[in-house]
Structure 1
Amino acid sequence: MKVLIIEDEVLNAKRLLAMLSEIDPSIEVLARLEGVDESIDWLKNNMHPDVIFTDVRLTDGLCFDIFAVIKPSCPLIFTTAFDEYALRAFQVNSIDYLLKPIKKEELEKSITKLRHTKQTSQLEHILADMANILRQQKKTYRTRFLIPHSDTFYTILTQEVAYFYTEFRICRAVMPNGDQHILPFTMEELEEQLDPTVFFRVSRQYLINSSSISCINNYFNGKLHIVVKPASTEKIIISRDRSKIFKQWLDR
C-alpha cells in the first residue's frame, strides 16, 4: 500500500509514520508534505497513492484548498481535532477520520476498512460539502488565561503574550516586559487554542506572536534565525522546510 501524508506538525507526522510501520511494515510512505501549495505541486507531478492521510487545517490553508485544484483519485483519511459536528459529517459520507491524538487501534481499523472498501465516486461532492461546513464554522480562539497565584487568581490577555516556550515539559507565557507565567498546557494544546493569524509555531519549543518579532536573519542551509523581544533564552531557529511556510504566514 502506497501512502501520502499531509501534516504540518512534525511530531504528529512522525507518530503516524511509526504506527503505520508497526501495523504493516510493507506500507510505503511516498512523501510527507506540510502545506497546500506543496501538496498541489506534488499531486500534479506524481502518481496518486492508494490513500492520503491529511490534516484538515494546514499552516497555509485548509486541505480542501488542495483538492479544489487537484481531484484525488484515491480515498482520504482525515486526521483532525475538529468538533463532533464535523466528524459526524465525515462518518455519514463514509470517508474515515482519525481524531488527534491518533490511537494505534483506530488507525488499524481505518487501514482494515480501507482495504475492504475504496469508495471514491462521491469524493468530489463530499469534499465540497465538508469545505463549506468547515468554512462556515466560526472557530473561537482563546482570549485570556486565568492564572492561579497563592490564594488568588489573575488573568493575562492572549494578544499581549509575546511568545510561549516550553522547557522541561513546562510551558510558559512570556510578556513584553519579560514577566513569565506558567501554563497548564502543552504546546500542541496551545496551538489549537490560539489564533493562527497571530501566533505561529516556529519550533517544538516556541510559539510566537508576530508582534514580538524584531528581526529575521538567514541562517545555515535555508534556515531562519528569529530574534524576538523580550530576548529568548535560546536561539530560535526555523527549519528549512518550515521557513517557507513562515514567510508566507508573515506576508499575508
Structure 2
Amino acid sequence: MRVVIIEDEKPNITRLKKMLTDVDPDIEVIAVLDTITESVAWFAAHPHPDVVLMDIRISDGLSFDIFPKVKFACPVIFVTAYDEYAVRAFKVNSLDYLLKPVERDDLQQALNKVKAVKQPPDTEELMKHLLDLLSKKEATYRTRFMIPFRDEYRTIPVTDIDFIYYSIAGTHLVLKDRTQLPISLTLEELEEQLDPQVFFRVNRQHIIHADSIDKIQTYSTSKLRVVLKRDLEREVLISREKVPLFKQWLDR
C-alpha cells in the first residue's frame, strides 16, 4: 500500500510512520507534505497513492483548502485533534478519521476499511457538507489553565498569557509579568483550545497573543519578524507560507 502523509508536526510524522510500519511492513510512505501549496503541487505532478493521511491544521492553513484544487483518486483519512462535533460530521459523510494521539488498532481498522473501498468518495461534495456543519457550531475556547507550580496549583486566566513557546525542555506559557510556566500540552493541542481571534501560531515554536506584538519587521523578501513587547530579543520568524494568514489574522 502506497501512502502520502500531509502533516507539519515532525513528532506526529515520526510516530505515524513507525505505526504504519508496525501495522504492515509492506506499506510505503511515498511522500510527506507539510503545506497546502506543496500538497496541491505534488498531486498535480504524481500518480495518486492508495490512501492519504491528512492532518486538518497544517502550516499554511486548513487542509480543507486542498480539496477545491485536487480531485482525489484515493480515499482520505483525516488525522485530527478536532472536537467531537467534527468527528460526527466525518461519520455522516463516510470519511474515516483518526483522533490524536493515533492508536495502532484505530489505524489498522482505518487501513482495512481503505482496502475494502472500491471507489473513493466524492470528496468535493463531502467537504462542502462538512464545512457547512462546522460553520454552524458555536466554538468554545479555554478561559483558564490549572497548572502545578512548586508545591501547589495555580489557576492561570488565558488573558494573562503573553505568548507560548516550545523548546527541547517542553512547552511553556509566558505570562505578561514574564513568569514562565511549563505545561504538559503540545502547541498543536493549545492551538485547538485557544481562541484564534486573539492567539496565532506564527511558527512551529510559538503561539502569540495579538497584544504581545510590539512591531512587525521585514526579515527577508518572503519572511516577517515579530518583535514582542516583553521579550525584545526573542527570534520569532514567520515563514513565507504563514505570512498571508498572519496578515489576515491581524487585519480584522
**Equivalent-residue separation in structure 1 for 2:129 and 2:182 (angstroms):** 41
> How many Å separate the matches in 2 of 1:55 and 1:211?
29
Structure 1 residue 169: deviation in Å? 5.4
CA distance in 2, matches of 1:182, 1:202: 19
For 1:128, give the aligned amino acid: K
Aligned to 1:177: 177
Show the counterpart of 2:23: 23
Letter in structure 2 aligned against 1:177 = D
CA distance in 2, matches of 1:236, 1:38: 26
SS of the residue corresponding to residue 68 of structure 1 reads coil
Query: CA, structure 1 residues 144+114, in 2 after alignment: closer, same or farther (shift >3 Å)?
Result: same
String of CA shifts for 1:15-42, please: whole Å, max 9, x gaps.
1122112222332222222232332222
Deviation at 1:7, TM superposition (A): 1.5
**TM alignment of 1:121-200, pairs within 5 A:** 121-146=121-146, 154-158=155-159, 160-166=160-166, 171-183=171-183, 185-197=185-197, 198-200=199-201
Alignment of 1:11 with 2:7, yes or no, is no
The SS at the match of 1:4 is strand
Mapped contact 1:203–1:237 kept (Cα < 8 A): no
Aligned-partner SS, 2:114: helix
Residues 15 and 237 of structure 1: CA distance in aligned 2, closer, same or farther (over 3 Å): farther
Q: Given residue 195 of structure 1, which amino acid in structure 2 is its aligned partner?
A: D
2:115 aligns to what? 115
Q: Name 1:71's counterpart in structure 2.
A: 71
Specify the alignment match of 1:203 in structure 2: 204
Match of 1:212 in 2: 212
CA deviation vs aligned residue, 1:42-91 (integer Å, no higher than 9, x gap): 22222222111111233433322211222111111111122333323323
Q: Which runs of 4+ in 1 moved over 6 A?
A: 148-152, 222-225
Secondary structure of the 1:30 match is strand
* Aligned positions of 1:230-245 closer than 5 A: 230-231=230-231, 236=235, 243-245=239-241
| One-letter identity of the residue aligned with 2:203 | V
In structure 2, what is the equivalent of residue 90 of structure 1?
90
Number of equivalent positions: 244
1:142-170 CA deviation, whole Å, 9 max, x = no partner?
23335677778654333x42212356756
Q: 2:244 aligns with which of 241, 244, 248?
A: 248
With structure 1 as the length reference, what TM-score do the two structures score?
0.78
Q: Is the 8 A contact 2:5 2:53 kept in 1?
A: yes
Conservation of the 8 A alpha-carbon contact between 2:67 and 2:127:
yes
Q: Which runs of 5+ in 2 are unaligned?
A: none
| Residue aligned with 1:38, SS | helix
Cα RMSD of the aligned pairs, angstroms, is: 3.2
